[in-house]
A = this chain, B = another copy of it.
């Protein structure tokens, strides 16, 4: 097995060597632009680590499919940015803003297809498994994005639904990355499955971490403005959990009131009538974007008051532990498990 650092260098080198045709310029310019934006290259890294657990001969047959994961991920960002009206991505204008809608649609399509083209360099005798895994995964990602958009119009999204959505939108691609490396290396099906499940759970921790950092991260290290999700009333883990908690607390209060009322014939807490938590939250959510900083601060304070920040941290640790447990259950050798653990740890201990 190579060191993680060596594997990461191989991925970075391969990304730099990626070449797109020069014309049509409006088609391939955006692809180059997206790939040049950087990013953590988490998916190809994970895929290569997984492959390298079993095999040391690293060539196009694994590097190209590994990069397909990154290319596909970048395609989803181009199209998601149109759908989300996002102006900025990694500090630069999004493709549909820099060019236009049509360019973003078509160059995104090309990037999606290009990922499948790159996948085609997987060993011929494993290509059917690889294609099946990748196409199923990428369909699920579209389903996750649709669920996410459907959530926008709903006020009653449950935490279970949210977990299902991020499972599709985020986790399955990490899971696919993790499994694909093993599949290409020719590992046993149940080991591939174990690596899939491990990364799926890790992905849940990763996404909740993302939600957490968007509100509670340090602006300097996080690299983008804190509070974007709050401003957009985005249905994140924090907001959904907060709504549930507010309801719960209100219900508890009401019960106390009823008891108090029965005993003392009054309904007071802290000596006065108090606004229910749910109403307080709804009022905060109604604050306009123009009151940006105020809204961000107020909602963060509210999250803290209800302990949502701590709950998020606990949820992250819990999914992370769950992922490690799944990894532990696989039939991998201790040093193979160790390698994956180090990756998992850096992923979840990130602050950006």
Contact = CB atoms under 8 A, between A and B. Distances in A.
Interface residues of A, number: 38
Contacts of A102: 82-83, 149
B139 A128 contact: no
A150 interface: yes
A27 to B, nearest CB: 4
A132 B146 contact: no
A185 B116 CA distance: 22
A244 to B, nearest CB: 23
Contacts of A101: 82, 101
B24 A147 contact: yes
Contact of A131 (B83, B112, B119, B139): B119
B117 A136 contact: yes
Contacts of A149: 26, 102, 106
Contact of A135 (B113, B128, B135): B113
Interface in A2-57: 21, 24, 26-27
A105 B84 CA distance: 12
Interface in A83-140: 83, 101-102, 105-106, 108-110, 112-114, 116-117, 119-120, 124-125, 127-128, 131-132, 135-136, 138-139
Interface of A: 21, 24, 26-27, 79, 82-83, 101-102, 105-106, 108-110, 112-114, 116-117, 119-120, 124-125, 127-128, 131-132, 135-136, 138-139, 142-143, 145-147, 149-150
6 contacts: A26-B149, A82-B102, A83-B105, A114-B135, A124-B125, A127-B131
